[in-house]
Structure 1
């Protein structure tokens, strides 16, 4: 493989701290490298050095003559006064001949279609949402002919579909032994999906590992075991996460990314991430039978109908993950469950012993304690808290989520975004709620901190609802996923996030083909009558299936309580059949609805 670029003896100091110390490394053709490490350890600094955006205090960066390097900054660097078109292609945005050239280029068509097809070409950049700005910045970079691409947190503000599209694009952008990219991201699914090497940045140096995130987790655990530090807290988290990677995600474990024999030997004595039966018993004891039920809830926001006669029943100890398109109402759903938002119709039924807590995206709740120190904030709530049946002091709890003894005395006003999110989560947990709701909890957190958060949630006995675009987190901490598809409905995803992506692709294909179908056939009055009959019939069938689903869920809860796992397995199979039948009917409904316009 040909050498593309590299750094020799790179050293960077920040104030009195050495961020990078005499590093020598490089990128070759075919490298697909993911960088991981704690926030502040130098990942972005190293990327800027290699991209030529920053100079080292000592050492040098050398690149192959004429090498074209594309770089995506972590922050928003677009001109807010520019239009979307001008931001992506500059002055050529309104050049008709140039536009024909783009349309003839399949790579450009793919990028534009995958990232900005729904963004107004004439809109001002300043009017866009965070996710739309990220898509525009990515499109600007990816339509270029770069031999090396460097991406600093490219998945920030992207939804599940955007992350999946970017992963597929990077996997197919070059041939296997051509081009290279370097990516910094906390999205562990993305790292595992696109990378063939991993760089861990820590203590002013870089350790290189072959393979993606799963391979890195195993190699790091083996490295630490050989160094006789198996018993320290960090290794226990790594081993626990590895156990889940091997046992809990069939799609991932099927990939031969690391030696299965070594993995089995390493995790032979590691228990399952969660004892679901024991946690459900604890949750039922704390909550009783009734938790939170949304019954026939409808909600409008401006001109949009977010929910139309939506019903959702949360069981004691349920761990539910929510995915959905932007603007479909994920945050509004959490606010409804938390009692912060009243529906236009329908009702929220709340169990007598239910105590909810909601981690918001903005974490503005900490503004009122900005002058207090980290430990003082937690101790003001409670000095000792019970987690997973054991008592933990406030100091131990904050240390578990990455606040060192020195950091515990930092004023809240000086914390970074990720540190504020960690602190507010701890603040909620020490209040010992029995229903915990998390709105995009992975924002600004590094991979080690995410593992620590997941470890903490493993022993938390209550009902958990998580809204996130991070599919690794959803698979890791929830047992059931549901989707808001933008049609005012909420549907089960027995196939997880992969099923959600398939449904979204199916809906987009149906919308794209609908105009041709109507124009070519011209819906007659007879067609319209039949479509109306089909819609009414399908809606009646769907209502019956929903009732059957609710009965099966109730029977599964009873079987779980009694420990009848044979019955639980049979009920789970019945549930999947019902959900498959619903999926088929929903596709029929979409076809009939398209005829009606």
Structure 2
């Protein structure tokens, strides 16, 4: 099938930002599911605008298939303050296409399902857009895209302002939707869930990888490993050449080098994410036995009950995630713990040694008159994080600020850079309790990885309110849910349990087909109990066969390394290895087909 969009040797740059893309050639087919990643300012949004032909390249060509229907959600929206939900979602006020008759609002289940899924089902047709928050306006605009059919959907940060359930719903909707889509997002769980290809925008180029975020991470690590190995070999050869020149050329002999199961070596060599026992011990020594305790605490905001009389204990070294819908009270609870609010009744007991740092969603507390490094050194010039001691400049480098960037005035920083600086200043104060409200907002994937690396070795108590499922599962150990009914509910099953408790109606695509819904046990495809038992027995047999093939593959790889100088033996072993890998792939395919037929355990 020919591509629906082609970029041919595209170049794009701006005066202040410099060159962003150089000689980029890419293509999208009609069922592409592409996630775009890269540092802030690398050119991701620019690439999206050119894919949509909303912006022309400086040189090169962007071509669309004839009659291609493209819908795009930009980062910034310009909606009339007098517009209503009806005008934006059903009318042609914002988008060129018109939904048609207003009765479709009531009659089209897909429209109602989309608004419910995005958390906007409570809005009426005549609700004005003007008084809405930025997040609500963005969700209304996203709904306007999803109710319309298109061949290519282009989404710039669609998960911003969606809660965990909303992100899960959007992922299921996109997976069941016909047509291609391209998405820029920093939500790594979402990238893994919906994307079958990843484009990395880096150094004015776009590198293409198969798979989602996890596959891209491994592929990039492998690329860096290969580059490091090539450079090491080059340096080694250079040293040999110099030595040969000094003592005269001896007989040139060489021994072939073979890569032995590089991907497995990469994974096997990775240390544990964190030493929880040591961190707990360190946290207890820094904090004592008491951190926070809510004793019959209650709180209301306006007509909303945030907390019924609640008893809740937070101990030293606890790493807690708070999840819940927007407005459930997560931010208010963090402000209560930070001492910025008082309960209506009951008490909030805080340990005497607690030194909290509260990361809010606002950026107003940053000193705009200082340069970046000065803003960090204003808090501390040297920082100890766990077993690491860093200067203010080194800490800034961890968060992606180069030598030149650290002298930029704070007032000139982008939103993402200001967010990074906000985190820097918090950590520089060396708190022993972190209260983080949506810490991943405006951070690119590389900065998120650096932040998580720091948090892994951070010995203290951490409470994180976040819709970022990847972060929650990466850096916290315990999940609590807030469901808008005044309770703080422990969720031993984590995010999956939260989604099961808040599961909504099935996802209905614009074509009227059900694209997803609450988790349910797969059908047994009419298999009898005897057939299920036989299938499970065969599954076990295939698993044992796979284990033997993996062992055989490992032995062949070892033999290849041992016979590196024997050309004939290498040819023989390489043939056996290829045959073994092909057999293993076939067995894996048979196992997968059989596993999909069986009902869930």
Query: 1:141 matched to which residue of 2?
Result: 145
Offset of residue 91 of structure 1: 6.7
The reply to whether residue 454 of structure 1 matches residue 452 of structure 2 is yes
The reply to whether residue 276 of structure 1 matches residue 276 of structure 2 is yes
Offset of residue 390 of structure 1: 2.4
Question: Is the Cα contact below 8 Å between 2:322 and 2:482 reproduced in 1?
Answer: yes
Matches within 5 A, 1:581-596: none
- Of structures 1 and 2, the larger Rg is shown by 2
Structure 1 unmatched runs, 5+: 233-260, 510-597
Query: 1:479 matched to which residue of 2?
Result: 477
Query: 1:352 matched to which residue of 2?
Result: 352
Offset of residue 288 of structure 1: 0.6
Q: Deviations along 1:244-297, whole A, 9 cap, x unmatched?
A: xxxxxxxxxxxxxxxxx7543212222111111111111011001111111111
Offset of residue 401 of structure 1: 0.6
Question: Is the Cα contact below 8 Å between 1:155 and 1:185 reproduced in 2?
Answer: yes
The reply to whether residue 433 of structure 1 matches residue 431 of structure 2 is yes
Offset of residue 92 of structure 1: 10
Query: 2:365 matched to which residue of 1?
Result: 365
Deviation larger for 263-272 or 214-223: 263-272
Q: Which has the higher helix share?
A: 1
Query: 2:285 matched to which residue of 1?
Result: 285
* 1: CA distance, partners of 2:428 / 2:93: 56
Q: Deviations along 1:487-510, whole A, 9 cap, x unmatched?
A: 00010111111211111127x89x
* 1: CA distance, partners of 2:410 / 2:230: 33
Task: Select which of 111, 114, 119 maps to 1:111.
Answer: 114
Change (3 A) 1:338 1:447: same
Q: Deviations along 1:403-451, whole A, 9 cap, x unmatched?
A: 1110111111111111111111111111111101110111111111110
Offset of residue 111 of structure 1: 2.2
Query: 1:204 matched to which residue of 2?
Result: 204
Question: Is the Cα contact below 8 Å between 2:380 and 2:392 reproduced in 1?
Answer: yes
Give the match's secondary structure for 1:505.
coil
TM-score relative to the length of structure 2: 0.76
* 1: CA distance, partners of 2:270 / 2:143: 44
Offset of residue 135 of structure 1: 1.7
Query: 1:181 matched to which residue of 2?
Result: 181
Structure with more relative contact order (C-alpha pairs < 8 Å, separation 6 or more): 2
Give the match's secondary structure for 2:91.
helix
The reply to whether residue 38 of structure 1 matches residue 45 of structure 2 is no
Matches within 5 A, 1:55-204: 55-90=56-91, 98-115=101-118, 116-174=120-178, 179-204=179-204
Q: Deviations along 1:225-248, whole A, 9 cap, x unmatched?
A: 11117999xxxxxxxxxxxxxxxx
* 2: CA distance, partners of 1:473 / 1:92: 37
Change (3 A) 1:405 1:92: closer
* 2: CA distance, partners of 1:497 / 1:408: 37
* 2: CA distance, partners of 1:205 / 1:97: 42
Give the match's secondary structure for 1:132.
helix
* 2: CA distance, partners of 1:56 / 1:377: 38
Change (3 A) 1:219 1:142: same
Question: Is the Cα contact below 8 Å between 2:153 and 2:180 reproduced in 1?
Answer: yes
Matches within 5 A, 1:260-275: 263-275=263-275
* 2: CA distance, partners of 1:14 / 1:55: 12
Give the match's secondary structure for 2:270.
coil
Offset of residue 114 of structure 1: 2.3
Give the match's secondary structure for 1:266.
helix
Task: Select which of 442, 454, 462 maps to 2:440.
Answer: 442
* 1: CA distance, partners of 2:379 / 2:13: 39
Q: Deviations along 1:319-339, whole A, 9 cap, x unmatched?
A: 000011111111110011111
* 2: CA distance, partners of 1:144 / 1:24: 29
Number of aligned residue pairs: give it: 474
* 2: CA distance, partners of 1:192 / 1:127: 35
Question: Is the Cα contact below 8 Å between 1:79 and 1:87 reproduced in 2?
Answer: no
* 2: CA distance, partners of 1:45 / 1:182: 13
Structure 2 unmatched runs, 5+: 233-260, 507-601
- CA-atom RMSD in angstroms: 2.2
Offset of residue 120 of structure 1: 2.6
